[in-house]
Amino acid sequence: MDNAYVLWGFKVGAAVLAEDGKIYAGCNVESWISGIGICAERCAIDHAVSHGSRKIKEIAVVTSADSQSEPRPCGVCLQYIYDFAENPKIKVVMAKAENGKILFETVKVKTIGELLPYPFKK
């Protein structure tokens, strides 16, 4: 989250536990042109894929404590997580952080199936 490039939103960090057992991190990178930035979740998944790991076992998403939004993936990211999920029951851990520490009272854990009950699939 500390590496996020934020122009108009708020900082988000993500980490995926990939099928190879490694953890790959990502952060949001914004642009003044809408649509060409990337969310932290997709950044982390792309990081895993670019290192040869095509399936993820779990994902964690953290937003800054001053964010007015719930710490959860957007709709685009939910579909992306589903696309690379090892199975539809993988956990999505969501929380807020302040000064580099997770605020445990904000932690929520859901499956991708709970967050995206009707995914687009073949």
Domain range summary for the chain, segments of one domain joined by +: 12-115
Active-site hit among 41, 58, 70, 105: 41
For residue 13, give the nearest of 114, 79, 98 by alpha carbon.
Answer: 98
| pLDDT (0 to 100) of residue 16 | 98
What is the CATH number assigned to the segment(s) 12-115? 3.40.140.10
Q: Is 114 a catalytic residue?
A: no
Distance of alpha carbon 99 from alpha carbon 103, whole angstroms: 10
pLDDT, mean of residues 40-65: 97
**For residue range 57-114, what is the model confidence (pLDDT) as tens digits?**
999 999 998 888 889 999 999 999 999 999 989 999 999 999 989 999 999 999 999 9
Distance of alpha carbon 7 from alpha carbon 30, whole angstroms: 6
Q: Is the pLDDT of residue 35 over 90?
A: no
Q: Is the pLDDT of residue 122 over 80?
A: no
